[in-house]
Amino acid sequence: MLSVLSIKNFALIERLEIGFSNHFTIITGETGAGKSIILGALGLILGKRADLTSLKVKDEKCVIEAHFQIGSYQLQSFFEALDLDYEETTIIRREILPSGKSRAFVNDSPVNLAVLNDLGVALIDIHSQHQTQELSDEIYQIQILDAVAQNTVVLSQYQFALSAFKKGQNQLKALQIQQSDWIKERDYHTFLSEELHQAQLKSGEQETLEADYEKLNNVEFVKEALSKSWSLLNEEQIGINNTVKEVRASLQRITNFSKEFLELYERVHSVEIELNDIGNEIEMQTEGLVHNPEQLRLIDEKLQLIYALQKKHQVQTIEELVAIENELNEKLFMANDLDVKIEKLLVELENKEAELMGIAAQLTEQRKKAVPVLQQKLVDLLSLLGMPNAAFQFEMNPAKSFLNNGMDDLQLLFSANKGIDFGLLKKVASGGELSRIMLAIKAILAEYSNLPTIIFDEIDTGVSGEIADKMGVIMKNMSQNMQVLSITHLPQIAAKGDHHYKVFKTTIDDTTTSQLRLLTREERIVEIAQMLSGKNISESALLHAEELLNK
C-alpha cells in the first residue's frame, strides 16, 4: 500500500508530505484546487514522462517520493524479474532537473521509465473517467475473465510457450531465407566445384608442368646445350674431366710432403667425382630428351586449364584454387545440413504448436467456467447500483491464430433493461452505466487480485443520490482487501471514507500554492455539508452531513 507521498516543487505544490493509511481514503476539493496535481505526481512515480512545465520554480529541481508497504503482497519474484533490490518498504523517487532531464530511483537504485511502468502495474491501479473506455477493449475483457478464472499460472505457461514457439518460427524463417538464397546459387556453386574437381589439381603441379613444357617446347635447343656441355667435360684432348684428372695425378705425387698438399689433392678429387657425376647426369638428360608433340600438347592443355581457372577465381596459385574447391564443398555440405536443420525445426515447431494448443484449450475451458460466475457477480453488484435488469453475454469464439493471451476472440454484450436486445457494451451503455459497470468490475477484481492500492478518480461521474451511496458502500467493501483512495465530488461517497483529505489553494504574496490537509470529524461534517449545499452551508446540510457520516 501507499504509505507516504512527498512532493516538492511540482506544479502548484511547493512542498507537501502526505501519510496514507490502509482501508478507504477520500480526497475532496473544489475544481482546480489541485486534486489532479496529486494524481499527476503519482503518475510520474509510476513512469509517466515529464517536462519543465511541471516545475513550480523553474531553477529548482522537482522531487517526488512515494513509500510503499509491500511486505504482504509476495512481490519478491517480480522485483527479481526487474533486477531490483526488494525491500518491504519500497521507496520510489523521481527527480526532474531544471535542465529538463529526469531521473528515477527504486530503493536508491537508478532505473529507467520502462521499469517504473512495469513496477507501477503491480503497485497501483489509477482509474480515471476516460479509462472506463477500457471496458470496450477485448484484451481488458479477457483479463477480467482470467482474474475470475484464476488463470495466472496457466496464462504464464501459455505466454512462455508462445514465446518459444515464435522464437522457433523466427529461426525457421531465417533458415528458409538462407536456404532460398543458397538454392539460387547452388547450381552455379555445384558447377564450380565440379570444374575444380575434374581438374585434379595438386600442390606444386603448376611449377612442374611449366618446367616440363619449357623443356619439351625447346627440346633441340636444350639437347644442343647439353651435348656441348658433355663434350666440354669429356673430350679426350681438352675435356675438363681429363684436365682435372691430370691435376689430381700431379698433386697426388706431393701429398706426402705436406698436409696442405694432401688437402688440395682431396679437394681436386672431390671436384673430379662431382664433374663425373655431372657428366653422367647430362648424358642421361640428353638421352631422355625426345621430341614428343603429343605430350607437349597435353601439358599445354593442362596449363591453359590452370591459367583459366586462376583467372576465373582471381587467384595466382594452385593452392588457392584447391582452397576454393574445399570452400565450395563445405558450402554444399552446409546446404545439405540446412535441409536437415529445417526438417528438425519443423518437427519441433509441430510439437510446440500442439503444446500451445493444449494450454490455450485449458485457458478457454477455465474462461468458460468463469463466465457464469462473473455474470452473476456483475448482475448482483449492478442491481445494488440501480441497474436491476442489467444483463451480460460473453460471446467467445476460437481465434484464427495464437494471440498473446490465448486463442479466444471475445465480445462482451450488454443489455440494461428487460426486452432490450443485447448489443456491444461500448455502443449501448451510457456514461453513467459504464461508470457503474467499471466499479462493479473493479470490486470483483479486488476479490481475485493481489493489488495493493486502487485509486478512483471521479468514477462517480453521472450518478448521484442513492446510487452514489451504493457506490460508496462497494468501495468501502473493497477497502477490506486493499487500500482504496477515491477522489470524489459526491458527499455520499465522501462520507464512507475512513480518512478524509481536503485539497485547497492558498495565495500569499501573489503566489498560489495547493495544499492538502487531513480533516477531523468536525471538519468533515463541514466539508460534506458544503458538498451538499454549496458555500452557504445550511443547518439542514450540516445535519444531513452528520447523518451520512453516522451511517
Residues 174-183 have pLDDT tens digits of 988 887 777 7
Q: State the Cα–Cα distance between residues 519 and 27, nearest whole angstrom.
A: 10
Among 10, 116, 143, 43, smallest CA distance to 516 is for 10
Instruction: Give the chain's mean pLDDT.
Output: 87
Q: What is the pLDDT of residue 131?
A: 67
Q: What is the pLDDT of residue 255?
A: 87
Angle between helices 293-313 and 205-217 (to 10 degrees): 140
Contact 201, 306 (CB under 8 A): yes
How far separated are the first and last CA of the chain, in Å rounded?
26
pLDDT greater at residue 224 or residue 140: 140
Q: Residue 185 above 80 pLDDT?
A: no
Report pTM.
Answer: 0.67
Q: State the Cα–Cα distance between residues 123 and 134, nearest whole angstrom.
A: 19
Q: State whether the Cα torsion 541-543-546-548 is positive or negative.
A: negative
Residues 231-269 have pLDDT tens digits of 888 887 678 888 888 888 888 888 888 898 899 989 989
Residues 269-304 have pLDDT tens digits of 999 899 888 888 888 887 766 676 777 788 788 888
Q: What is the pLDDT of residue 290?
A: 67
> Domains, the chain, ranges and CATH?
2-149+389-519 (3.40.50.300), 181-336 (no CATH)
